[in-house]
Amino acid sequence: MPRKSKFKLKPLHISSESIGKRIARIRKSKNLTQKELAQKIGITRSRLSKYEIDKIHLLDEIVIRFAIALEVSSDEILRLKEYPVKKQLHP
C-alpha cells in the first residue's frame, strides 16, 4: 500500500487513467499477452499483472523497460506528452 506523502503537494490532475491501466491498454493495442510482455521485460506474468492493476508501483527502471518493450516513450507511459510539466508546476 502506498504511503501518504508528508508534504502538502498540489495535485497535478494529469490523468484519470492509472499508469498500470495505461500499460495494459498499450499492451493490448500492440496485441501482446501479459505473458509475452512479461517475457520481453524479464519479469513474471504475475508481477506484470500486479503492475497493471496498480497493486505495486513501478520503479524508474521498470518504466524504461516497459517503454522499450512496448516501443513507446516513457512520456507516453507517464502521460507527460499531454500535460506539460511546466504548466502543471507553475500556476
Residue 51's CATH number = 1.10.260.40
- Binned at pLDDT 50, 70 and 90, residue 7 comes out as confident
Is 46 inside any structural domain? yes
Dihedral sign of CA atoms 51, 41, 24, 35 in order: negative
Rounded Cα–Cα distance for residues 78 and 91 (Å):
21
Q: How far is CA 89 from CA 61, 71, 85, 86, in A?
A: 24, 28, 6, 5
Is 13 inside any structural domain? no
- The domain total for the chain is 1
Of all helices (H) and strands (E), which one includes residue 82? none
Residue found under cell 524479464: 42
pLDDT score, position 1: 47
* Contact between residue 76 and residue 67 where contact means Cβ atoms under 8 Å apart: yes
Q: What is the mean pLDDT of residues 81-88?
A: 55
Find all residues with CB under 8 Å of 41, minimum gap 6, and list them: 48, 62, 65, 66, 69
Residue 44 lies in domain: 19-89
Is 41 inside any structural domain? yes
Asked whether the whole model's pTM tops 0.85, one would answer no
Is 39 inside any structural domain? yes
pLDDT score, position 76: 87
